[in-house]
């Protein structure tokens, strides 16, 4: 283990306290096998801590703990207002530990600490406060039925109840680790479910610290369990586990397909938030002072490791060169450095493996005739850094236009009219998000219904709100997180019909 430069004593103490442990049934345990996995700092490529490398028997233990907690009257009979208060307390605890959580996130993932603070941690707090309110607003319907009345002159009374789905298996990725944990644990707690949460191998720290804060907030033991280890062992065991009633997965389309098939094999509930290849469509009447920085941040935010990253830039031909030059100038000026340096605008990618994947895509783009107008190089630094990169002269059918790269790589293509822009935007297996930049309301209104995406932003990109449903169509997933819609993912509808 190496000492970590630039972190506070509080964060260092947390890392030491959590090393080699995970949360099962309210206890901090090692894997039954005693095996561990290392955790690497992407800014230095050095191992700085380790976590349990769980096996199937650890998953069994965590599921048993979650099942027992689901039946425990302390949780099962907790009044909705008390669940609400406990979630609000949890949000307050996150707020009291913002700086530490932001440091943990930056250290684990590489992202700039200022962004981790603003987006990851504050965003998680906002979401918890939002979802806490739903705990007291879960409701069913009274329903009129049309059966002939019973002979005794009575009638029928029918209603629906929304009941917690049960034990939730939450499998999350490394790009927004705390956000993704909160997006799944939050609604599970609001609806009265219990959870087995598996963070990504690259980024376990904030999920584990979140586990500590959940206990501190007073949730009964076993309501939330955090289990670490490799996806192919722990994630696979969770997906096929008969004790898990619902799988909530965020990650790649490839793994999501496997997880979904495994869950559906036993007809478990499943929601999938998967990959994306989001188009940014810019018309020549757009406000370029907003659209140029908007397009740059749409792709380079979080080192391009965002499922909604605006990775395909379609610009109307008359302004194409001017626009791409503007985005390239912003890319060239971005300050690359360690996430823990508050001046950093772009940190390292999450891992050596991820940087290699992204670099292979850049090479493929160049081999298929692409031309670099920005970046393309690995800076001469010890971590997993990569310059923000822009490719042009790529045909729509090329690999870099069709496949998700999940790194700071933008492909820019010109279009002539709105019909062509829509055709290009929709020519993708993904359908997560898109943005349209124009000052003409008619153009915007004509386009938005035609774009195949779960979210369409207009004159902005990457803005998510707790009250706005979020999710994808096509290969980008199934189900909507956030907003009222998320309650459907964590509850079952029970219909009750009484002869009265």
Q: Which residues of the chain form contacts with ligand TAP (CB under 6 A)?
A: 171-175, 198, 200-201, 230-232, 235-236, 239, 250-252, 255, 258-259, 273-276, 307, 404, 406, 432, 472, 476-477
CB of 235 to ligand TAP, least distance (A): 2
| 173's tokens | 């990725």
CB of 180 to ligand TAP, least distance (A): 6
Q: Which is nearer to ligand TAP, 275 or 376 (CB)?
A: 275
| 144's tokens | 């009129």
| 374's tokens | 């920005």
Strands 156-164, 491-499: parallel, antiparallel or unpaired by DSSP?
antiparallel
CB of 461 to ligand TAP, least distance (A): 15
| 212's tokens | 């500590």
Annotated active-site residue 273? The verdict is yes
Give one DSSP letter per residue of 324-351, joined into a string. Answer: HHHHHHHHHH--B--TTSTT-SB---S-
DSSP letter assigned to residue 481:
B
* 120 φ/ψ sector (left φ>0, alpha ψ -120 to 50, else beta): alpha
CA-angle at 169, arms to 163 and 173, nearest 5°:
130
CB of 395 to ligand TAP, least distance (A): 23
Sheet holding 246-250, edge to edge: 27-29, 22-24, 224-226, 194-198, 167-171, 246-250, 269-273, 477-478
CB of 116 to ligand TAP, least distance (A): 15
Q: Give which of 188, 204, 77 is closest to 196, Cα–Cα.
A: 188
Cβ(365)–Cβ(394) below 8 Å:
yes
CA torsion sign for 461, 465, 469, 474 is positive
Q: Which is nearer to ligand TAP, 164 or 304 (CB)?
A: 304
Question: Residue 395 burial by CB count (10 A; 0-12/13-18/19+): exposed, middle or buried?
Answer: exposed
Strands 36-41, 46-52: parallel, antiparallel or unpaired by DSSP?
antiparallel
Q: Which is nearer to ligand TAP, 245 or 273 (CB)?
A: 273
Q: Which is nearer to ligand TAP, 150 or 429 (CB)?
A: 429
Q: Which is nearer to ligand TAP, 138 or 309 (CB)?
A: 309
Q: Which of 307, 359, 404, 481 is catalytic?
A: 307
Which residues on adjacent β-strands are paired with residue 162?
493
CB of 250 to ligand TAP, least distance (A): 5
Q: Which is nearer to ligand TAP, 66 or 405 (CB)?
A: 405
Q: Which is nearer to ligand TAP, 373 or 456 (CB)?
A: 456
Which residues, including other chains, have CB under 8 Å from residue 285's CB and lie 6 or more apart? Answer: 438, 439, 440, 443
CB of 279 to ligand TAP, least distance (A): 15
CB of 37 to ligand TAP, least distance (A): 8
The number of angstroms, rounded, from the C-alpha of 296 to the middle of its chain's C-alpha atoms is 21
End-to-end CA distance of the chain: 70
CB of 71 to ligand TAP, least distance (A): 26
Q: Give which of 163, 7, 172 is closest to 493, Cα–Cα.
A: 163
Alpha carbons 249 and 242: distance in angstroms, whole number: 17
Place of tokens 């002539």: 416
Q: Which is nearer to ligand TAP, 195 or 307 (CB)?
A: 307
Phi, psi for 387 (deg, rounded to 5): -70, 145
Annotated active-site residue 193? The verdict is no
Cβ(114)–Cβ(463) below 8 Å:
no
Q: Which of 273, 359, 404, 481 is catalytic?
A: 273
Cβ(352)–Cβ(383) below 8 Å:
no
Number of alpha carbons in the 13 Å side-chain half-sphere of residue 82: 10
Q: Which is nearer to ligand TAP, 186 or 251 (CB)?
A: 251
Active-site annotation, residues: 273, 307
């Amino acid at each position: 283990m190496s000492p970590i430069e630039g972190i506070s004593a509080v964060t260092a103490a947390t890392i030491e306290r959590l090393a080699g442990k995970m949360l099962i049934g309210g206890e901090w345990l090692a894997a039954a096998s005693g095996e561990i996995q290392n955790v690497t700092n992407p800014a230095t490529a050095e191992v700085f801590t380790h976590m349990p490398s769980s096996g199937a028997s650890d998953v069994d233990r965590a599921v048993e703990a979650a099942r027992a907690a689901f039946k425990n009257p302390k949780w099962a009979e907790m009044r909705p207002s008390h669940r609400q208060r406990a979630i609000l307390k949890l949000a307050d605890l996150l707020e009291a530990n913002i700086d530490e959580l932001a440091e943990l996130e930056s250290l684990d993932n590489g992202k700039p600490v200022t962004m981790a603070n603003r987006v990851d941690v504050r965003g998680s707090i906002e979401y918890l406060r939002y979802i806490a309110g739903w705990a007291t607003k879960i409701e069913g319907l009274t329903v009129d039925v049309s059966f002939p009345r019973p002979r005794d002159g009575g009638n029928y009374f029918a209603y629906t109840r929304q009941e917690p789905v049960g034990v939730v298996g939450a499998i999350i990725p490394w790009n927004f680790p705390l956000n993704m944990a909160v997006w799944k644990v939050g609604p599970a707690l609001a609806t009265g479910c219990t959870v087995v949460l598996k963070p990504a191998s690259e980024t376990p720290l904030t999920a584990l610290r979140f586990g500590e804060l959940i206990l501190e907030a007073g949730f009964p033991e076993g309501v939330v369990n955090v289990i670490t280890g490799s996806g192919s062992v722990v994630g696979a065991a969770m997906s096929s586990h008969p004790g898990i009633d619902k799988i909530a997965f965020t990650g790649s389309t490839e793994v999501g397909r496997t997880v979904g098939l495994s869950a559906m094999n036993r007809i478990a509930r499943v929601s999938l938030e998967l990959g994306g290849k989001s188009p940014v469509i810019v018309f020549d009447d757009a406000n370029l002072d907003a659209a140029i920085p908007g397009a740059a941040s749409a792709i380079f935010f979080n080192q391009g490791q965002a499922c909604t990253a605006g990775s395909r830039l379609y610009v109307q031909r008359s302004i194409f060169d001017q626009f791409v030059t503007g985005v390239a100038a912003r890319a060239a000026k971005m300050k690359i450095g360690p996430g823990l340096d508050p001046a950093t605008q772009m940190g390292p990618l999450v891992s050596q493996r991820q940087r290699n994947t992204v670099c292979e895509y850049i090479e493929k783009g160049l081999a298929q005739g692409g031309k670099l107008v920005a970046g393309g190089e690995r800076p001469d630094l010890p971590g997993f850094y990569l310059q923000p990169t822009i490719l042009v002269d790529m045909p729509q059918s090329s690999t870099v236009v069709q496949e998700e790269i999940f790194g700071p790589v933008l492909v820019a293509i010109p279009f002539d009219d709105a019909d062509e822009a829509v055709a290009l935007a929709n020519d993708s297996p993904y359908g997560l998000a898109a943005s349209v930049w124009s000052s003409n309301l008619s153009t915007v209104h004509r386009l938005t219904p035609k774009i195949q995406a779960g979210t369409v932003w207009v004159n902005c990109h990457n803005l998510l709100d707790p009250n706005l449903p979020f999710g994808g169509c096509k290969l980008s997933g199934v189900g909507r997180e956030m907003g009222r819609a998320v309650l459907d993912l964590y509850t079952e509808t029970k219909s009750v019909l009484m002869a009265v």
